[in-house]
Amino acid sequence: MGLLEGRGAQDGRDLGSTGRVLGGSTKNTTTPHFLVLEGPCLGQGGAPFLPSPHPPVARAHKSSWGLEEKKPMSCLRTQESGFPSLLAPLELSAPGNWETHLWYARESLLPTISAPQGPGAAMWRCPLGLLLLLLLTGHVALGAQKGRGRRELAPGLHLRGIRDAGGRYCQEQDLCCRGRADDCALPYLGTICYCDLFCNRTVSDCCPDFWDFCLGVPPPFPPIQGCMHGGRIYPVLGTYWDNCNRCTCQENRQWHCDQEPCLVDPDMINAINQGNYGWQAGNHSAFWGMTLDEGIRYRLGTIRPSSSVMNMHEIYTVLNPGEVLPTAFEASEKWPNLIHEPLDQGNCAGSWAFSTAAVASDRVSIHSLGHMTPILSPQNLLSCNTHHQQGCRGGHLDGAWWFLRRRGVVSDHCYPFLGRERDKAGPVPPCMMHSRATGRGKRQATAHCPNGHVNNNNIYQVTPAYRLGSNDTEIMKELMENGPVQALMEVHEDFFLYKGGIYSHTPVNLGRPERYRRHGTHSVKITGWGEETWPDGRKLKYWTAANSWGPAWGERGHFRIVRGVNECDIESFVLGVWGRVGMEDMGHH
């Protein structure tokens, strides 16, 4: 067997089973700076070979050094008893700075190494064999060393106890590996764990069931008491929210979650989108985390009118002889810049105020021929229209129109909505705007705008509201001639999920418990109508309407709903109104 010597060699030093030092130099008397060892083809350069509870017998460190060939060279190696043997990077520099590196390979694949011939013989000799000797640049080899060291340097997984102690990892994959096998690994709570014998060392990275499944012994670490969720351990009585349901960690380390129906129901979304209902459902993020009950209580807010109001006289509109209404109409196209965009009532159950202010804003703008284009203040109604009204806990449409006629309101810029700052509906702030009569039914504000940046505190009023007939043609004619109208409607659980298309209430929840089927009364602004032809040739008529759930909901805050069949009672109670506009208003503005 050939030998290889270096300057300052400590020849003959006995390393037992690891071989004999043939050449090297030292930083001190116990730690060689580099080693050249004689023995079987095993090696580790630049880092200790396979860490264990006991330090390696020899450590080989990267270094540049000159060599003198004495005899043909055999393999370079370090070896640690009891572990699979690998050939690891070892960087040597002969005169002329010619460099080469040995790459990782299992012992069973290593060829016999012999000396090369010719000018490069000052380095060492080895046949290519299975191409296990690769010429690499120095930084690539160093990177490989660093990658190899990650597992050795990583902290143990179970220093504070075993997480997910009952998890079936090795057992699920029927995985137990001898020695060290870095690919004998499985995902574990955001990291990886191993099922090889090498994991069972002082700093353990074994999977939780390795000891029981692979070794048949109890684990050496205690289980952590608590419940796992999302890679995190929660203590007993710890909680997290799953949509609208609170989950609590029980003493038996099991989660107990509430079973409230959520406003955003992924199962219902999928059922609607997979069915042929003519519209699409989606997750409106503002509703995530709310229960269905909260949606009904906080996102609607119109109290169904009393029987006396529901029986009020209807004003019938008759088409003139030969008059034909268009198949499609949109108020914003006939009155550009006079139809206002939807507002957002937040979690204030005040649709009674929002829909009233929305219709009045458009009607005042249209009837003043654009001389007055206010966005009227829902907050003015919520805080000041308190007689038989409940603010953000619900209100009556007839009471809202009475207040607009007798007291009037200012613009939303003057008196902005305050409900967005609260998470849930509650008592509204006290009224900050009052008015007094100035003659001929007109009124004047008696306070400055609550918004100190706005000076215009003009009061806007309307005439008495009137009820339209329930025939869709009459509603269409009124809308086309005088502007958007207000409509009462019943909102069901699936309406909150509306994303686009022509809405109609679906039966997807009929097979579920009754608590999943809820409805409440709402009010909206109808702005137009249209007609859509389906692939099978059917024509579906619809209304277009503005909601008060902000522009991110539905079709930019609007929705379409089936027309002509009183879908969700939307044609059962429809109101119109005239803006109170005098010649002095036209001239003044």
Task: Please confirm, yes or no, whether 547 is among the known catalytic residues.
Answer: yes
DSSP 3-state percent helix, strand, coil across the chain (nearest 5): 20, 25, 55
Place of tokens 């969700």: 568
- Integer-rounded Cα radius of gyration of the chain: 40
Catalytic one among 340, 505, 522, 558? Answer: 522
CB–CB of 536/554 below 8 Å?
Answer: no
Provide CB contacts within 8 A for 460, sequence distance 6+. Answer: 360, 364, 372, 374, 376, 404, 408, 409, 410, 411, 579, 580
Beta bridge partners of 523: 488
Using CA atoms, how far apart are residues 283 and 263, in angstroms rounded to an integer?
9
Task: Please confirm, yes or no, whether 347 is among the known catalytic residues.
Answer: no
CA atoms within 13 A on the CB side of 335: 24
Provide CB contacts within 8 A for 306, sequence distance 6+. Answer: none
Using CA atoms, how far apart are residues 283 and 496, in angstroms rounded to an integer?
9
Q: How far is CA 134 from CA 61, 88, 101, 182, in A?
A: 20, 12, 7, 21
Catalytic one among 284, 457, 547, 558? Answer: 547
Residue closest to 551 by CA, chosen among 284, 369, 313: 284
CA 203, chain centre distance (Å)? 36
Task: Please name the amino acid found at residue 430.
Answer: P
Using CA atoms, how far apart are residues 486 and 358, in angstroms rounded to an integer?
9
Q: In the 3-class helix/strand/coil scheme, how is 411-441 assigned residue by residue?
A: ECCCCCCCHHHCCCCCCCCCCCCCEEEEECC
User: Mind giving me the DSSP string for 497-550?
Assistant: GEEEEEE----TTTTS-GGG--EEEEEEEEEEEEEEE-TTS-EEEEEEEE-SB-
Provide CB contacts within 8 A for 528, sequence distance 6+. Answer: 328, 329, 330, 331, 332, 479, 543, 544
Provide CB contacts within 8 A for 359, sequence distance 6+. Answer: 483, 484, 485, 486, 525, 575, 577
Provide CB contacts within 8 A for 257, sequence distance 6+. Answer: 242, 245, 246, 247, 248
Tokens coding 88: 């690891």
The catalytic residue positions are 522, 547
